[in-house]
């Protein structure tokens, strides 16, 4: 390493300046300061000659992070870049995973127009002003209807847009038992997040009479890509 630094001092200094001032190298220390100083006067009081230590910018707070299932508190910094405020005092979240399915975006000019698949997962954030008799925002054991709808739509199915020009061929393959077809207005993750948001609120309004709602959903296709939909139903705001 010493030979490299001597042969390539420019490269060495460029790398050093990323993390420390250039004078941290023993060969590049700044010249000593002059020892003579003018005595302080009334118009020029003595000043301390020292460098103010640098302070790092504060990290975004994770308090109330919706990814932790707690909803954003006012003034906090969200992970997703959009400031969201939880619609009620109490929130919780539930994740459903393991829904392998395939689809294609036939209008896309790139590889998304080809049939491809993911194991989708869905996360729901719920809210309530008052807890139920068991102390829950939502009783997860009563979400069986929602889980069945997710499985029927996304478990080992082939999703296709209603305007896909190859729809007759997909329907023929479905009739032959080669695939389990589901025709949707939009097979994308963004539209899927909105779709399941509506399913959750249909169930909660019927079951809880407006006490609880789903105010955010996430549709995830893999560990890197996900889409969210956030909205508070009008009937929950007025309840």
CA neighbor of 160 nearest in space, from 98, 199, 107: 107
What does the pLDDT read at residue 43?
Answer: 53
What does the pLDDT read at residue 162?
Answer: 97
| Helix (H) or strand (E) segment spanning residue 4 | helix 2-7
What does the pLDDT read at residue 9?
Answer: 43
Give the whole-angstrom CA distance, residue 78 versus residue 75.
9
Which CATH number is 71-237 given? 3.30.479.10
Whole-number percent of the chain with pLDDT over 90: 62
**Confidence category of residue 2, pLDDT binned at 50, 70, 90:** very low
pLDDT tens, residue by residue, 105-145? 999 999 999 999 999 999 999 999 999 999 999 999 999 99
**Confidence category of residue 146, pLDDT binned at 50, 70, 90:** very high
What does the pLDDT read at residue 74?
Answer: 34
Backbone φ and ψ of 215, nearest 5°: -115, -5
Report the chain's mean pLDDT, rounded to a whole number.
Answer: 78
More confident residue, 59 or 206: 206
DSSP letters, the chain, are -HHHHHH-HHHHHHHHHHHS-GGGSTTSPPPPPPS--PPP-SSS------PPPP-PPPPPP-TT-GGGTS-PPTT---TTSS----SSSEEEEEEEEEEEEEE--TT-SSGGGS-EEEEEEEEEEEEESS--TTS-SS-GGG-HHHHHHHHHHHSSEEEEETT-TTHHHHHHHHHTTS--EEEES--SHHHHHHHHHHHHHHHHHHHHTTSEEEEEEEEESSSS-EEEEE---HHHHT-
Helix, strand, coil abundance in the chain, percent, nearest 5? 30, 20, 50
pLDDT tens, residue by residue, 4-52? 444 444 443 333 334 444 444 444 455 555 555 555 555 555 544 444 4
**Confidence category of residue 238, pLDDT binned at 50, 70, 90:** low
Please list, residue by residue across 131-157, b when 16 or more beta carbons sit within 10 angstroms of its beta carbon and e when fewer do. Answer: eeeeebbbeeeebeebeebbeebbeeb
Q: What length does the chain have?
A: 239
pLDDT tens, residue by residue, 151-172? 999 999 999 999 999 999 999 9
Backbone φ and ψ of 144, nearest 5°: -60, -40
What does the pLDDT read at residue 76?
Answer: 34
What does the pLDDT read at residue 85?
Answer: 77
- What are the structural domain ranges in the chain? 1-29, 71-237
Give the whole-angstrom CA distance, residue 233 versus residue 157.
29
What does the pLDDT read at residue 86?
Answer: 84
């Amino acid at each position: 390493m010493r030979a490299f630094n001597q042969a390539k001092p420019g490269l060495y200094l460029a790398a050093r300046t990323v993390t420390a001032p250039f004078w941290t190298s023993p060969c590049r220390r700044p010249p000593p300061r002059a020892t003579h100083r003018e005595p302080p006067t009334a118009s020029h009081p003595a000043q301390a000659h020292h460098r103010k230590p640098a302070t790092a910018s504060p990290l975004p707070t994770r308090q109330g992070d919706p990814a932790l299932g707690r909803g954003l508190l006012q003034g906090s910094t969200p992970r997703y870049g959009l400031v969201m405020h939880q619609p009620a005092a109490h929130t919780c979240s539930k994740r459903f995973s393991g829904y392998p399915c395939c689809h294609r975006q036939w209008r896309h000019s790139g590889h998304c127009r080809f049939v491809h698949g993911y194991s989708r997962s869905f996360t729901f954030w719920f809210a309530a002003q008052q807890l139920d008799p068991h102390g829950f925002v939502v009783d997860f054991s009563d979400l069986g209807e929602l889980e069945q709808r997710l499985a029927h739509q996304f478990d080992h199915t082939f999703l296709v847009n209603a305007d896909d020009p190859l729809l007759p061929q997909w329907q023929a393959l479905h009739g032959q038992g080669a695939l389990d077809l589901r025709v949707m207005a939009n097979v994308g993750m963004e539209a899927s997040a909105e779709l399941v948001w509506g399913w959750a609120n249909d169930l909660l309004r019927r079951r809880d009479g407006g006490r609880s709602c789903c105010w955010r959903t996430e549709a995830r296709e893999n560990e890197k890509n996900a889409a969210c939909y956030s909205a508070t139903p009008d009937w929950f705001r007025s309840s």
